[in-house]
Structure 1
Amino acid sequence: MHPHHAPPHATPHPRRWRALVLLCLAQAMLVVDITVVNVALPSIGADLDLGRESLTWIVTGYTLTFGGLMLLGGRLADVFGRRRVLLAGLALFTLASLAAGLAGDGAVLLAGRLAQGVGAALLSPAAMSTVTTMFHGRERHRALGVWAAIGGGGAALGVLIGGLLTAGPGWEWAFIVNVPIGLLVLALLPRLLPIESTSDRLGRIDLPGAVTVTLATASLVYGLVRAGDDGWGSITALAPIGAAAVLYAVFAAVERRWPQPLVRLPLLTRRTTLAGVFLMLVATGLLISFFFLGSLYLQGVREMTPLRTGLLFLPAAVTVTLGAHLAGNLVGRIGPRAVAVAGLFIAGAGAGWLVWALDRSVAVGFLPGFAVAAAGLGALFVTATTTAMSAVDHREAGVTSGIVTTFHELGGSIGVAVMSTVAAAGIEGGSATGFTSAFAVCAVTAGLAALICLRLVPSGRIDTSGMTMAH
């Protein structure tokens, strides 16, 4: 037996499936909070007297801290133990949700959203790496399939829940609903998680690398957000994007010299890692774009209520989950390349249907096109996660999951920034023309990504039978 692999007959963690349910529930809160605010924005603006720019930051402030601090969260999980960091992140997220729900002005609400993002950045990579270390072999494929379905289905449920709560008890409950769920998970999860023995100490953490990569990612997300508002040629977009490029170069230089770096640079050049983060970037970019465009189209062009808009996203929540489940069963049998290309083809076909039939009835045009696209993207989520985590030593599981989830947040930011520009005429004028152009861009993007996958994504079956290879 290879010393770097787990024993083939190692006793599995006895409470792993019950722990998975609670971990997925916690992760669902984080993903739902990316989109839950979208439908509630008009009500928030009216109650707190907030303008368009302030409302934009209520949405993107969460994404900025969530994505910007992800690598640090993953490294802290590797150093101090996944269990400790996971529970600390969950506690912070729950407390921040309460603060956001009770906010009486925009400043307090924004502070709550930023703190939610910090908690999410601690919780998410620790939870994902816990899943990869509790499960082995085919069980890991199934567990990651469930986990990936949360990534796609949670975005759809966020819009649905936002519509239901805004039309019912009020927008505040889009945040307060996290509190009882978070307290329940905090009460039950500790007794189900394995106890870890960690030998690393605080002095070994690469603080220069953590600060640099966090600033770089935050600057990139900020630039992408500004590009959606001010245009891609504006100085407010180009300056922070340029600063991010410089900071990423500094980060690479720091990592080469630091004795125990935040992330080993060879990890970033590993084919499985590159393939996984590329698939996650495309999957999230397309899916969040679909929800962003769909919400604005249904309410702006079709003049539907927030509640009905949320309900119309329910079929997509079902199909994205089905796509992820099917991919979880197939990726270990036929390899990630075939599943990724098929998922992108299906997503492109759904986007193409929207281009052709968007001006028809919602039941004929929007619903089937969106549902088909979501099924393909659900398959991409599980393929991305499984591929990226397939050759990672347990000591780097946290930081690798942090890299994957960072690209989840970046994908959403890039997708919304691009599509808001392409669909600007439709958004501002209330016509379908701009939306049709945006869905056409989505279809082309899916096709180009499929071509890239033919070279980038491994064709053979990936080995996830054990704890994978170490350094």
Structure 2
Amino acid sequence: MTNRSGAQPGLTLGTVALVQFMVSLDLSVVNVGLPQIAAGLGFSAMGLTWVIHAYALTFGGLLLLGGKAADRYGRKRILLLGLGLFGLASLAGGFARDPGHLVTARAVQGMGAAALAPAALALLTAMFPTGRARVRAFGIWSATNAAGGAFGVLLGGLLTEYANWRWVMFVNVPMAACALALAWRGVAAGPPAARGGRPDVLGAVLVTAGMTLLVFGVVRTDQYAWTSPVTLTTLAVAGALLAAFVRVELTTAREPLVRLGLFANRSVTGANAYTLLVGAAMASCFYFASLYLQQVLGTGPARTGIMFLPFALAVVAGSVLAVKFGYRLTPRVLLVIGGLLTATGLAWFGLISPDGAFTTDVLGPSIVTGGGFGLCLGPVASLATAGVAPHESGTASGLLNSSRQIGASLGLAALGATAHHRTGRTATPETLNDGYALGLTLSAALLIAAVIVALTVLRRTSPPSRVERTDDRALFPARD
């Protein structure tokens, strides 16, 4: 079926789902392969974390610029550009010969993802603006979003053990090619939604540099104390760059990356704060659980990946339930329920022991955590773009994704440093377990904070009305 703009809703939804799966997968697909990547390219223990941070920081830092570019230059154009850049960077990363090459490729991947992710979400928002169709579309988006992150660990483990770690990079190339083909055919090449001034590139550079230095300062606390001149100087410079970013956004003659008045919308503010906290907790959960299975329980990469399958299935199941409940419950209620379930699962994860096993220490927490996480994804994305003017939908989409990636990087840096301090200099299974357990318990605390945000910041709303549900049949004619 084709709508008045010439776009095909089914193909547009398929394109957006594949894009979100791919960018989410790349946040976690390298986790299980990190020991092999370090051995293959000669990474130091400190340098290895930047395989994750290089992607998350450029992705999160440039997302606002990507969203603004999608609004100004056209969503399809920016989507195609981002897909091409992402695919080429993945190919280059697979052929990396030293640590610098791989970190650079991961950073360029993040740049490509920063262009395509907000364009894709803005397309989804425009194609399915209200009612039941929106609930269902965002449910599919959230399921693929969740599946990408969860199945990334499974796929990364299988590729690392039975092929080569380089395939965790190469695997993106065919996905990017398929998404390009779908977007070329199914996404309408409509006029750009806005024609303001040029996007604020200086602001994008300032926020990316500031966040990178902030993460760098936190990560380096494994060598320099929090009160050392090196750490204090790094964090002070990071703070200055972020303050300069806010100043530029208020005074620039160009089109600001984000209109600060957008935060007057409580749905936007609450959804982004919630996503920042959940992103910090879940990135840390993936990291600590993967290392616990490999370094404490002695599980191989492939088996570690397979052990994440219940988590992945639970996330998808939670996303499907969010669609069903979304016709009866408000997004705010779903965020509270999902956040509490996720916090419960993470607190349960925090009880891991060095002589534990998958069935006793991992399986149950994985199901509870995954189910709760899946309930959150669709509603928070819907809220983040609710009530936003059409010409700012790309900006709002980029802001949400930026909050998730920056939260992931900051959370992993802070909780990783905390876990390292708990572990101490002697890395035995017992000390490693203590550090990972602390990190998982603190992740649960972040989810409690997210629930408090949902209760205090987000407004009470109503589920889709009967009229909206009926009108949506024009886009989704098949009835449940």
Match of residue 457 from structure 2: 456
What one-letter code is carried by the residue in structure 2 that aligns with 1:280?
T
Asked if the contact 2:76/2:187 (under 8 Å) is kept, the reply is: yes
1:68 has 2:64 as partner? no
Distance 1:14 1:93, change over 3 A: closer
Asked if the contact 1:341/1:450 (under 8 Å) is kept, the reply is: yes
Distance 1:45 1:440, change over 3 A: closer
Match of residue 445 from structure 1: 446
Match of residue 261 from structure 1: 256
Q: Which moved more, 1:189-198 or 1:394-403?
A: 189-198
Asked if the contact 1:337/1:458 (under 8 Å) is kept, the reply is: yes
Match of residue 289 from structure 1: 284
What is the deviation of 1:133? 0.7
Match of residue 3 from structure 1: none
Partner SS for 1:204? coil
Q: Which moved more, 1:226-235 or 1:93-102?
A: 226-235
After superposition, where does 1:147-158 map in structure 2 within 5 Å?
147-158=141-152
Distance 1:453 1:227, change over 3 A: farther
1:174 pairs with one of 168, 174, 185? 168
Match of residue 474 from structure 2: none
Partner SS for 1:275? helix
2:316 pairs with one of 321, 334, 339? 321
Asked if the contact 1:337/1:457 (under 8 Å) is kept, the reply is: yes
Asked if the contact 1:336/1:457 (under 8 Å) is kept, the reply is: no
Asked if the contact 2:33/2:156 (under 8 Å) is kept, the reply is: yes
1:34 pairs with one of 27, 37, 41? 27
What is the deviation of 1:423? 2.6
Match of residue 58 from structure 1: 51
Distance 1:214 1:418, change over 3 A: closer
Distance 1:75 1:238, change over 3 A: farther
Q: Residues of 1 paired with 2:53 and 2:36: CA distance? A: 17
Asked if the contact 1:390/1:462 (under 8 Å) is kept, the reply is: no
What one-letter code is carried by the residue in structure 2 that aligns with 1:329?
K
1:338 has 2:333 as partner? yes
Q: Residues of 2 paired with 1:229 and 1:33: CA distance? A: 28
Asked if the contact 2:210/2:239 (under 8 Å) is kept, the reply is: yes
1:414 pairs with one of 410, 426, 429? 410
Distance 1:225 1:423, change over 3 A: closer
Q: Residues of 2 paired with 1:213 and 1:462: CA distance? A: 36
Q: Residues of 1 paired with 2:344 and 2:360: CA distance? A: 15
Match of residue 429 from structure 1: 428
1:243 pairs with one of 212, 237, 243? 237
Q: Residues of 2 paired with 1:383 and 1:232: CA distance? A: 37
Partner SS for 1:334? coil
Asked if the contact 1:331/1:461 (under 8 Å) is kept, the reply is: no
Asked if the contact 1:280/1:380 (under 8 Å) is kept, the reply is: no
Residue segments in structure 2 that go unaligned for 5+ positions in a row: 472-480
What one-letter code is carried by the residue in structure 2 that aligns with 1:387?
L
| CA deviation vs aligned residue, 1:65-96 (integer Å, no higher than 9, x gap) | 11111111111111100100010000000011
Q: Residues of 2 paired with 1:457 and 1:229: CA distance? A: 40
1:135 has 2:136 as partner? no
Distance 1:113 1:122, change over 3 A: same
CA RMSD of aligned residues (A): 2.5
Q: Residues of 2 paired with 1:266 and 1:418: CA distance? A: 30
Distance 1:85 1:290, change over 3 A: same
1:347 pairs with one of 342, 345, 351? 342
What one-letter code is carried by the residue in structure 2 that aligns with 1:256?
L
TM-score, length-scaled by structure 1: 0.90
Asked if the contact 2:51/2:106 (under 8 Å) is kept, the reply is: yes
Aligned residues with identical type, % of pairs: 37
1:298 has 2:293 as partner? yes
Match of residue 476 from structure 2: none
| CA deviation vs aligned residue, 1:273-320 (integer Å, no higher than 9, x gap) | 111111211222221111111011111110110111110001111111
Q: Residues of 2 paired with 1:357 and 1:253: CA distance? A: 45
Distance 1:355 1:99, change over 3 A: closer
Q: Which moved more, 1:75-84 or 1:318-327?
A: 318-327
Q: Residues of 2 paired with 1:14 and 1:46: CA distance? A: 47
1:220 pairs with one of 186, 204, 214? 214
Match of residue 115 from structure 2: 122
1:189 has 2:183 as partner? yes
Match of residue 274 from structure 2: 279
Q: Which moved more, 1:318-327 or 1:416-425?
A: 416-425
Distance 1:398 1:14, change over 3 A: closer
